[in-house]
Amino acid sequence: QWLGTSPSGVLITLSRTVFRGEGEREVGFRSALRTSGRSVVEVSDSDGIDATNERLVLDALEANPAVEAVYSVGGGNVATVAAFD
């Protein structure tokens, strides 16, 4: 809805891939996007720690410049926004 028809990718951040609640939200999100044709880039295992999360998000954005949106499941939201700036 917010991205319109742009072919941009979406970043999803998880604090740890083994957390059940986060995993369930991730699966639901990916399922909802499946028919959109958008790429989904995953960042995980930051433990929600800002410094770690920001580094991981910066690396993901550098490797995937088409990413224009993020679904932050696992915390580190301040760091995620900082990486986009």
Contact 22, 51 (CB under 8 A): no
Contact 73, 13 (CB under 8 A): yes
pTM: 0.85
Q: What is the pLDDT of residue 19?
A: 74
Q: Residues 49-54: contacts with CB within 8 Å, 24+ apart? A: 49/76, 50/76, 50/78, 50/79, 51/79, 52/76, 53/13, 53/15, 53/79, 53/80, 53/83, 54/79, 54/80, 54/82, 54/83
Q: What is the pLDDT of residue 16?
A: 81
Domains in the chain: boundaries: 9-84
Q: What is the pLDDT of residue 69?
A: 92
CATH pick for 9-84 out of 3.90.550.60, 3.40.50.2300, 1.10.540.10, 3.40.630.10: 3.40.50.2300
Digitized pLDDT (tens) for each residue of the chain, 85 residues in all: 778 887 899 999 988 877 778 888 888 888 988 888 899 999 998 988 899 999 999 999 999 999 999 999 888 899 999 999 8
- DSSP bridge pairs for 41: 11
